[in-house]
Amino acid sequence: MLRSHTCGELRAENVGQQVTLCGWVDTYRDHGEGLLFIDLRDRYGYTQVVASPESGEQAQQLARQVRSEFVLSVTGTVAPRPEGTVNPKLATGEIEVRISELQILNECDNPPFQPGAVELPGEDLRLKYRFIDLRREEMQQALLLRSAIVKGMRDHFEEHQFIDVETPVLGRSTPEGARDYLVPSRVHPGKFFALPQSPQLYKQILMIAGYDRYVQVARCFRDEDLRADRQPEFTQLDMEMAFVEMDDVMGMIDLLVARLAKDLLGLDVRLPLPRMTYDEAMERFGHDAPDLRFGMELIDLTDLAAKTEFRVFRGVADGGGRVRGINAKGARDNYSRKGIDELTTYVQQDFGAKGLAWFKVEDDGTLASPIAKNFEDELLAAIRDRMQAEPGDLLLFIADDWSVTCKALNGLRNRLGAELKLYDPKTMNFSWVIEFPMFEFDEETGGWTAMHHPFTAPRKQDLELLETDPARCRAQAYDLVINGSEAGGGTIRIHDPQTQQKVFDILGIDEATAAERFGFLMDALKFGAPPHGGIALGIDRFVMLFGGLASLRDCIAFPKTQRATDLMTRAPDEVESKQLKELSIKISR
RNA sequence: GGGGCCGUAGCUCAAUUGGUUAGAGUACCGGACUGUCGAUCCGGUGGUUGCGGGUUCGAGUCCCGUCGGCCUCGCCA
């Protein structure tokens, strides 16, 4: 070892010891011929090392050459800091190391930015020079948290007799779901592997093979556009259990969530985690992953709207749409006319709403708005009543088809929740959303698509609905929601070929197509498939939510930009024509 | 594919209504300094205002295009 201690380790009780530290120069303060201070940094902390005339001519000479981010080895004696110079900001602030020998292990070009800088540089620079960015304390904390979360997950599942099994990265492309990342096969010209969107089918096969508790930290790939919380390459804690029902899987995750919350955040989480049906979530919050850290629930006014002469409301109500709103308590004076205009533009541009109707509740209780004159007094009173409006409130309404009212009001609710600081950003809220619909109607094709995936089991009491009314058929599916983010999702799977075929029928996948694409699964289901189900948790999102981070990029050591490139390695890039030739690939553009 | 924000010194930012020599802090280079810890003080280097075109007597500023970063809708079972 080139060092005896780390830079975060030394305390008053080490005074007098001779030590050797290695690390990077965080800052240095040169007092000329006399004193020179260096804050030496490694991932454990900072230690002030001091060069003085007692350090000897050679060490002093070298110390004077030191610059930001040089890599040093410092040998010296641990000394108490003189009276009045203790630095309470440092864990090691009571001591310093008096240099007797100093080695410059490596120099550093003038860095594009400094890890300790007060102002964070642009994200493009951080990504290009990720090796410097990762030296920053915040990044180290995030990666440490990530490591702790993964360890907690692994420990939990190991304690419950789960077996870690690796599944292939090179697999078969399936046209359902997200766009696949494809890998050309050299051996089979014109044929392609696909990188897994998740190990879904493999883990079902493992259940059928009798490995009744499987777990894996699995890398997944989806070639879709990025968001702050979506990377093309991400990591799931993937698990599957045999001989279980929904409650068993959710119970297993409940325990894990409580464990992680306790160990990493010191939070006591009450179990079981609260559950809400999909229908309730959509009705009360307009979203299947509602942020339950604050109220401001959606309130339906469609029945009242049907009675008004106001054409916008009346037309929507008569046309089968919905009029719903939210009451931003006490927010009347937070939004000027211009502020409301911005909200209007927001719901129009982002969610396709036709407009935003609003009322300000005046001090005398009257509802003030440009559209107020279109409403009869009794109706205004009814609205006020329904919205539980009080002086100072701001009422916002969307009149549109059901889907738009959901999206727009969910958007408004989340935006106002943040802008009005309706919750403490440190609070954590865990819950389940259950009973998702089995199918969604696809306007484009005029057929049904699987809401989760085609292997999801319907609720037992809904089996008949498969044939009579697929729209009302609910799935044995469950999403884990943390602070309004989908942090994981799972289902009980279909384990008999008959039900599986019925679902394929509804999805318009005929027997031949099913055999072609998932023949191996259809076969496996015929060879003794146990009832089984599981879940996948988004590890990156867990880190983001537990760490209170704004972007998934801050939870991943080497993330992609919004345009799915790596600024450090400059991937993706063109390849040599020889490589393409071997793969029988021609680029057409 | 659509909407929005941004791009000026190595970095973070400023620059009046379009106006003459594009500034500051920091980093870097040189010097001073024996208790600093965002050290301080003195001096200095550093600019294709992302790139290309246009309007104008004159463009960092206005217009068009393009590249890049971010947010977002669509998309992501």
- Nearest nt by C1' to A223 Cα: B76
Q: How far in angstroms lies nucleotide B35's C1' from the CA of residue A7?
A: 21
Q: How far in angstroms lies nucleotide B15's C1' from the CA of residue A115?
A: 29
A190 touches strand B (CB under 7 A): no
Q: How far in angstroms lies nucleotide B76's C1' from the CA of residue A564?
A: 14
A321 touches strand B (CB under 7 A): no
Domain boundaries, chain A: 12-106, 136-277+479-491+530-589, 294-422, 436-475+496-527
pTM of structure? 0.95
Identify which of A198, A229, A202 has the alpha carbon closest to the alpha carbon of residue A214. Answer: A202
Residue with CA nearest B25 C1'? A119
**Which residue type does A312 have?**
V
Prediction ipTM score: 0.93
3-class DSSP state of A489: strand
Please give residues of chain A from 436 to 455 whose alpha-adjacent beta carbon (CB) lies under 7 Å from any atom of strand B.
Answer: 440, 449-454
Name the band, by pLDDT with cuts 50, 70 and 90, for residue A589: low
- In this prediction, residues A22-36 reach a mean pLDDT of 92
Q: Does domain A12-106 have CATH number 2.40.50.140?
A: yes
A225 touches strand B (CB under 7 A): yes
- Nearest nt by C1' to A124 Cα: B69
Residue A11: which residues within 8 A CB-CB, separation 6 or more? Answer: A92, A94, A95
Name residue, tokens 């003038």: A110
> Which pair of structure tokens corresponds to residue A277?
């049906």
| Whole-angstrom distance, CA of residue A59 vs CA of residue A348 | 67
3-class DSSP state of A430: strand
Identify how many contiguous H helices and E strands chain A contains and give both numbers: 17, 22
- In this prediction, residues A246-251 reach a mean pLDDT of 98
- How many residues are listed for chain A in this entry? 589
Q: Is the pLDDT of residue A211 over 70?
A: yes
**CATH code linked to domain A294-422:** 3.30.1360.30
If you average pLDDT over every residue of chain A, what do you get? Answer: 95
Q: Are A127 and A121 in contact (CB under 8 A)?
A: no
Q: Is the pLDDT of residue A182 over 80?
A: yes
- In this prediction, residues A395-405 reach a mean pLDDT of 96
- Nearest nt by C1' to A196 Cα: B77
For A185-200, give the secondary structure using H, E and C: CCCCCCCEEECCCCCH
Nucleotides of B under 7 A from a protein CB: 1-3, 10-13, 25-29, 32-40, 68-77
Q: How far in angstroms lies nucleotide B75's C1' from the CA of residue A268?
A: 38
pLDDT score recorded for residue A475: 97
- Nearest nt by C1' to A53 Cα: B34
A178 touches strand B (CB under 7 A): yes
Q: Are A455 and A502 in contact (CB under 8 A)?
A: no
Q: How far in angstroms lies nucleotide B52's C1' from the CA of residue A112?
A: 28
Give me the phi and psi of A234, to 5 degrees please: -145, 175
A44 touches strand B (CB under 7 A): no
Convert the pLDDT of each residue in A100-126 to its tens digit. Answer: 999 999 999 999 999 988 889 999 999
Q: Is the pLDDT of residue A262 over 70?
A: yes
A309 touches strand B (CB under 7 A): no
Residue with CA nearest B40 C1'? A31
Residue A338: which residues within 8 A CB-CB, separation 6 or more? Answer: none
Q: How far in angstroms lies nucleotide B54's C1' from the CA of residue A563?
A: 30
Convert the pLDDT of each residue in A433-447 to its tens digit. Answer: 999 999 998 877 778
pLDDT score recorded for residue A511: 86
More confident: A176 or A205: A205
- In this prediction, residues A166-192 reach a mean pLDDT of 94
As to burial, measured by CB atoms within 10 angstroms (0-12 exposed, 13-18 middle, 19+ buried), residue A151 is exposed
> Which pair of structure tokens corresponds to residue A440?
């969604």
| Whole-angstrom distance, CA of residue A78 vs CA of residue A270 | 47
Please give residues of chain A from 509 to 538 whose alpha-adjacent beta carbon (CB) lies under 7 Å from any atom of strand B.
Answer: none
A344 touches strand B (CB under 7 A): no
> Cis bond leading into A53, ω under 30°?
no
Helix (H) / strand (E) element for A233: namely strand A233-242
Convert the pLDDT of each residue in A454-482 to its tens digit. Answer: 999 999 999 999 999 999 999 999 999 99
A340 touches strand B (CB under 7 A): no
Convert the pLDDT of each residue in A336-367 to its tens digit. Answer: 988 999 899 999 989 999 999 999 999 999 99
- Nearest nt by C1' to A25 Cα: B37
Longest Cα separation, chain A: 92
Q: How far in angstroms lies nucleotide B15's C1' from the CA of residue A114?
A: 26
A81 touches strand B (CB under 7 A): yes
A34 touches strand B (CB under 7 A): yes
Residue with CA nearest B35 C1'? A85
The crossing angle, in degrees rounded to 10, of helices A337-351 and A402-419 is 130
C-alpha of A96 from chain center: 41
Name residue, tokens 């790596």: A566
Give me the phi and psi of A554, to 5 degrees please: -80, 0
> Which pair of structure tokens corresponds to residue A115?
């890890």
Most confident stretch, A57-66, A227-236, A418-427: A227-236
3-class DSSP state of A581: helix
A56 touches strand B (CB under 7 A): no
How many CB atoms are located within 10 Å of the residue A187 CB? Answer: 6
Convert the pLDDT of each residue in A482-535 to its tens digit. Answer: 999 999 999 999 999 999 989 999 998 888 888 888 889 999 999 999 999 999
How many CB atoms are located within 10 Å of the residue A132 CB? Answer: 20
Q: How far in angstroms lies nucleotide B3's C1' from the CA of residue A582?
A: 42
CATH fold for the domain made of A136-277+479-491+530-589: BirA Bifunctional Protein; domain 2 (3.30.930)
Instruction: Compute the C-alpha angle A409/A294/A395, nearest 5°.
Output: 45
Residue with CA nearest B2 C1'? A349
> Which pair of structure tokens corresponds to residue A389?
């409006």
> Which pair of structure tokens corresponds to residue A466?
């498969």
Q: Is the pLDDT of residue A86 over 80?
A: yes
Helix (H) / strand (E) element for A160: namely none
Instruction: Compute the C-alpha angle A516/A519/A523, nearest 5°.
Output: 155
